[in-house]
């Protein structure tokens, strides 16, 4: 789907804004380099150091590999070796050589031997970006990630991903999650580009139809996060643990922004592939964005987007997380590209102004990952600064088309001399 030409002065067309985004990306990348460990990448603290006893994790290793691959694709020196290190870790210490798939940490060091769809989606994303970057070992990693997803996680009957299994693929969890399916949608868009197989775009559409067009639309476009095995909503899930970092109680506005952006990427990808694309993808994206802004911005009297809300749109966890604001800015830029409507320019600037004032840490580097309800740095949900992925993508997305997916788009614009 073609972008709509903007009829007003926009930051998306401003060379100085593009230069600022590029400089911020370089700053983020430089901070994240220190996360390297022998078995992958670990979690950095507030000052960009690896704590004593730090261990590599599959989530961070996959996200870092994906992120560093996109740096390498752009022609930024110094990241090829980091991509190769991530590929080696995902092909080695983090992989289950006996049963296949990936552990959360090397050798089940965290005591968890299960296999989670969320992690496998990120492995597939990392592998696809590494293939675009033409790094050794990436093709084998991608083939294995696809094999595991198709063998164990993808349910053609459900049109969605199963959630998790025991180590030997027995004991499937009686739960379905929107979060893991959201990141599977992101990975499937990348897989479609790298493999040139349109099945991945159809699978992404099936997920979106179920999670957003069926369930979120029925709830006035508020994303339902938790379901049972039959896809019946679980509105009280984790009510006793509302601040869970991956499965919080209630609704998560940051995911509404993330889904809104993914719907637009899917629409553009299907159009680019010559496939039919339902008109509701744009309409649903707009409604998700509109409600998230109305429900969660400045909802408790202070600027910023709260982490979670209950089903009456009251704040539950009032911390402001960096990834939420990164996704809000990215969604605003995508909607601005797609529609040319000035309201999205207003939100785009608002989100970046807030991020620059409160999240970006000019003293110690990277972004504060969490603020309290008074917008002061906090660490109740996320300690330190382990995440490159969300902020790095937020400074890339406004400079790229909606399709193809990010690594492929970077390769294309670099080839044409645009970036």
341: which strand partners? none
Catalytic residues, by residue number, are: 255, 390
CB 60 within 8 A of CB 42: yes
- List the structure tokens of 258: 């993330």
Q: How far apart are CA 116 and CA 41, in angstroms?
A: 19
Task: Count the residues in the chain.
Answer: 419
- Yes or no: say if 166 and 96 are a contact pair by the CB < 8 Å rule: no
Domains recognised in the chain with CATH numbers:
11-236+245-415 (1.50.10.10)
**Which residues are paired to 40 by β-bridges?**
37
Q: What is the pTM of this model?
A: 0.97
* CA pseudo-torsion sign 398, 257, 154, 244: positive
What 51-54 contacts at long range (C-beta under 8 Å, 24+ apart), as own/partner pairs, is 51/384
pLDDT at 2: 65
Report how far residue 327's alpha carbon sits from residue 380's, in angstroms, rounded to the nearest whole number: 21
SS3 384: coil
- At residue 112, the pLDDT reads 77
> CA angle 67-353-267, nearest 5°?
50
Cα-Cα-Cα-Cα dihedral of 311, 312, 318, 320, to 10°? Answer: 70
Scan for tokens 């504060």, then name that residue: 368
CA distance 102 to 94: 6
pLDDT in tens for each of the 419 residues of the chain?
667 888 889 999 999 999 999 999 999 999 999 999 999 999 999 999 999 999 999 999 999 999 999 999 999 999 999 999 999 999 999 999 999 999 999 977 667 789 999 999 999 999 999 999 999 999 999 999 999 999 999 999 999 999 999 999 999 999 999 999 999 999 999 999 999 999 999 999 999 999 999 999 999 999 999 999 999 999 999 999 999 989 999 999 999 999 999 999 999 999 999 999 999 999 999 999 999 999 999 999 999 999 999 999 999 999 999 999 999 999 999 999 999 999 999 999 999 999 999 999 999 999 999 999 999 999 999 899 999 999 999 999 999 999 999 999 999 988 887 65
What whole-number distance in Å separates Cα of residue 58 and Cα of residue 42? 9
pLDDT confidence of residue 6: 86
- The torsion of the CA quartet 323, 328, 330, 331, rounded to 10 degrees, works out to 140
Q: 56 in helix, strand or coil?
A: coil
Phi and psi at residue 18, to the nearest 5°: -60, -40
């Amino acid at each position: 789907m073609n972008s709509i030409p903007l009829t007003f002065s926009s930051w998306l067309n401003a060379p100085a804004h593009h230069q600022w985004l590029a400089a911020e990306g370089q700053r983020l990348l430089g901070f994240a380099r220190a996360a390297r460990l022998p078995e992958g990448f670990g979690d950095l603290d507030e000052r960009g150091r690896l704590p004593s006893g730090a261990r590599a994790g599959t989530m961070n290793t996959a996200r870092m590999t994906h992120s560093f691959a996109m740096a390498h694709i752009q022609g930024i020196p110094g990241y090829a070796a980091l991509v190769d290190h991530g590929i080696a870790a995902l092909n080695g210490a983090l992989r289950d050589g006996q049963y296949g798939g990936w552990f959360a940490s090397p050798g089940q060091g965290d005591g968890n031997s299960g296999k989670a769809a969320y992690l496998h989606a990120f492995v597939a994303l990392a592998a696809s970006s590494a293939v675009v970057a033409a790094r050794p070992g990436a093709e084998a990693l991608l083939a294995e990630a696809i094999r595991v997803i198709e063998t164990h996680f993808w349910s053609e009957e459900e049109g969605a991903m199963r959630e998790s299994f025991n180590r030997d693929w027995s004991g499937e969890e009686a739960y379905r999650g929107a979060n893991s399916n959201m990141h599977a949608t992101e990975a499937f868009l990348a897989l479609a580009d790298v493999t040139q197989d349109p099945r991945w775009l159809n699978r992404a559409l099936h997920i979106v139809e179920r999670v957003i067009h069926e369930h979120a639309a029925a709830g006035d476009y508020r994303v339902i996060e938790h379901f049972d095995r039959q896809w019946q909503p679980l509105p009280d899930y984790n009510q006793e643990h509302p601040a869970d970092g991956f499965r919080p109680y209630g609704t998560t506005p940051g995911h509404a922004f993330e889904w809104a952006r993914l719907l637009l990427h899917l629409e553009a990808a299907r159009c680019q592939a010559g496939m039919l694309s339902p008109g509701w993808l744009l309409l649903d994206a707009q409604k998700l964005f509109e409600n998230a802004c109305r429900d969660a911005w400045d909802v408790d009297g202070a600027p910023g987007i709260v982490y979670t809300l209950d089903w009456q749109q009251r704040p539950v966890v009032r911390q402001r997380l960096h990834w939420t604001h990164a996704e809000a800015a990215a969604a605003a830029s995508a909607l601005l590209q797609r529609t040319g409507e000035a309201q999205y320019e207003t939100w785009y600037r608002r989100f970046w102004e807030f991020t620059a004032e409160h999240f970006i840490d000019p003293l110690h580097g990277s972004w504060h990952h969490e603020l309290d309800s008074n917008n002061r740095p906090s660490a109740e949900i996320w300690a330190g600064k382990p995440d490159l992925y969300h902020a790095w993508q937020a400074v890339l997305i406004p400079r790229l088309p909606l399709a193809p997916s990010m690594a492929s788009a970077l390769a294309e614009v670099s080839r044409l001399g645009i970036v």
